[in-house]
């Protein structure tokens, strides 16, 4: 099959070098593997195999999910699938049956918990992404039970709030700001107790780009504010602002948000509009205080006037906007994207103090640098 490689270096990460998530496709028939893989190919790194045993032997780097075609299911597959789940590389993978709409195979396999979910063929990439994300969140929520109380609550409450927010904004329904402060309260507690590393660790296994980024920004802004001695109200503004600043991105089409290559001018316009979209929504539909609105509206503004949407320059940007700009860039750079791997913290800080020297507040950047654990910077 064109473009589908079965070869990857030993010990490769779940994300390929360019930042894509790895999926394994299994079916004895090449035409079925192709039907499953083609819609996913631009957005994921795909490895395909004729059977489960070959996948277990030939995959390196833990895949996020295993996608099984109809012909991968036969009487001998139950044992092979159970063995696959026990294999160290595949233990965390979601297993999905990709079947013709009328297929009754799945009833039996789902009922025995051999597979985690099913999707009808043919599907669009966005449908698969939604299913993968839902299953990924459900399984990680269970694992969070093992975490200490404050990071566990920070993760659970912010994820609930975020899923709810995406729905509210899509319907232009009102947002009760208290739901956001309730969700962010344990984020602040975790920061005060220096338990925030649990949050960052847990987020490395979640595949929802926008939520992961938002909670990282929220937690980093709370750490930043705590380090420079801001009061409780200011810390809450930073944590909530961080969680909400990229809310407008939940409205972007999957194909734009996950595009592995460069965006067209029209797509770039759509991405830039995430700021105004969230600002308009929060202004009209919530009781969020002014500081939150500043964080949302101005996190892409730059001191030299090169930012968007207002091309505001230094003297008009207060510390909230300046802190949000630094943390948003730092968080984005240290996360993998479909078109590039994550930068190290040191490299991200070098970019902020080098090529972005005129764009972000260098005094605040030095304070932010001191906020980060020694192991990061």
Return the axis-axis angle of helices 232-244 and 319-333, rounded to nearest 10°: 50
Return the axis-axis angle of helices 290-298 and 319-333, rounded to nearest 10°: 50
Yes or no: say if 310 and 301 are a contact pair by the CB < 8 Å rule.
yes
Query: For Fe ion, what does the binding mask look like between residues 230 and 249, x meaning CB under 5 A?
Result: ----------------x---
Residue whose token pair is 């947002």: 175
27 binds Fe ion, rule: CB under 5 A: no
| Min dist. Cβ of residue 356 to Fe ion (A) | 14
Q: Which is nearer to Fe ion, 48 or 246 (CB)?
A: 246
| Min dist. Cβ of residue 55 to Fe ion (A) | 36
CA distance 205 to 2: 30
CA distance 281 to 169: 7
Q: Which is nearer to Fe ion, 195 or 301 (CB)?
A: 301
| Min dist. Cβ of residue 274 to Fe ion (A) | 6
| Min dist. Cβ of residue 279 to Fe ion (A) | 11
Q: Which is nearer to Fe ion, 50 or 210 (CB)?
A: 210
Q: How many residues bind Fe ion (CB under 5 A)?
A: 2
| Min dist. Cβ of residue 112 to Fe ion (A) | 42
| Min dist. Cβ of residue 115 to Fe ion (A) | 35
- Tokens representing 266? 């029209």
Q: Residues 310 to 339: which contact Fe ion by CB under 5 A?
A: 328
Q: Residues 242 to 281: which contact Fe ion by CB under 5 A?
A: 246
Residue 120, strand partner residues: 99
Yes or no: say if 274 and 249 are a contact pair by the CB < 8 Å rule.
yes
Question: Strands across the sheet with 44-49, in order?
Answer: 44-49, 21-26, 65-68, 94-100, 117-121
How far apart, in Å, are the Cα atoms of 37 and each of 1, 16, 247, 371? 9, 16, 30, 43
Q: Which is nearer to Fe ion, 116 or 246 (CB)?
A: 246
Q: Which is nearer to Fe ion, 116 or 301 (CB)?
A: 301
| Min dist. Cβ of residue 332 to Fe ion (A) | 5
Q: Which is nearer to Fe ion, 90 or 162 (CB)?
A: 162
Residue whose token pair is 């630094």: 326
Please, what's the b/e burial string for 258-294 (b: 16 or more CB within 10 A of its CB; e: otherwise)? bbbeeeeeebeebbebbbebbbebbeebbebeebbbb
Give the CA-trace dihedral at 56, 59, 62, 66, to 10 degrees. Answer: -60
| Min dist. Cβ of residue 213 to Fe ion (A) | 6
Q: Which is nearer to Fe ion, 191 or 296 (CB)?
A: 296
Yes or no: say if 157 and 182 are a contact pair by the CB < 8 Å rule.
yes
Q: Which is nearer to Fe ion, 27 or 328 (CB)?
A: 328
| Min dist. Cβ of residue 269 to Fe ion (A) | 14
Helix (H) or strand (E) holding 45: strand 44-49
Q: Which is nearer to Fe ion, 262 or 374 (CB)?
A: 262
- Tokens representing 349? 């800080």
All residues at 6 or more sequence positions from 370 whose CB lies less than 8 Å from its CB, including other chains: 227
Q: Which is nearer to Fe ion, 67 or 175 (CB)?
A: 175
| Min dist. Cβ of residue 215 to Fe ion (A) | 12
- Applying CB under 5 A, the residues found at the interface with Fe ion are 246, 328
């Amino acid at each position: 099959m064109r473009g589908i490689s079965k070869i990857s270096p030993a010990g490769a990460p779940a994300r390929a070098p360019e930042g894509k998530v790895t999926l394994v496709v299994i079916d004895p028939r090449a035409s079925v593997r192709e039907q499953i893989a083609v819609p996913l190919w631009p957005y994921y790194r795909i490895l395909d195999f004729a059977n489960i045993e070959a996948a277990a032997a030939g995959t390196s780097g833990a895949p996020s999910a295993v996608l099984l075609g109809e012909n991968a299911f036969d009487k001998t597959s139950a044992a092979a699938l159970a063995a696959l789940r026990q294999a160290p590389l595949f233990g965390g993978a979601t297993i999905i049956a990709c079947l013709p709409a009328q297929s009754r195979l799945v009833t039996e396999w789902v009922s025995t918990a051999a597979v985690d979910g099913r999707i009808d063929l043919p599907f669009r990439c966005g449908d698969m992404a939604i299913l993968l994300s839902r299953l990924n969140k459900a399984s990680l929520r269970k694992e969070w039970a093992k975490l200490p109380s404050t990071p566990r609550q920070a993760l659970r409450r912010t994820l609930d709030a975020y899923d709810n927010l995406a729905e509210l904004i899509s319907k232009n329904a009102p947002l009760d700001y208290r739901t956001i402060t309730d969700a962010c309260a344990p984020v602040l507690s975790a920061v005060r107790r220096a338990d925030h590393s649990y949050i960052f660790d847990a987020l490395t296994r979640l595949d929802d780009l926008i939520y992961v980024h938002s909670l990282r920004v929220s937690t980093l802004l709370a750490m930043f504010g705590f380090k420079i001695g801001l009061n409780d109200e200011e810390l809450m503004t930073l944590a909530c602002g961080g969680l909400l600043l990229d809310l407008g991105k939940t409205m972007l089409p999957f194909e734009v948000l996950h595009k592995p290559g460069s965006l067209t001018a029209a797509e770039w316009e759509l991405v830039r509009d995430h700021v105004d979209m969230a600002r308009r929504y929060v202004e009209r539909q919530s009781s969020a205080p002014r500081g939150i609105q500043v964080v949302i509206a101005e996190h892409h503004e730059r001191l030299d006037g090169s930012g968007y949407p207002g091309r505001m320059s230094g003297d008009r940007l207060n510390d909230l906007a300046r802190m949000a700009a630094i943390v948003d860039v730092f968080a984005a750079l240290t996360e993998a994207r479909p078109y590039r791997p994550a930068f190290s913290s040191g490299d991200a800080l070098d970019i902020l103090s080098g090529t972005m020297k005129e764009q972000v507040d260098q005094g605040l950047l030095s304070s932010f640098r001191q906020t980060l654990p020694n192991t990061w910077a």
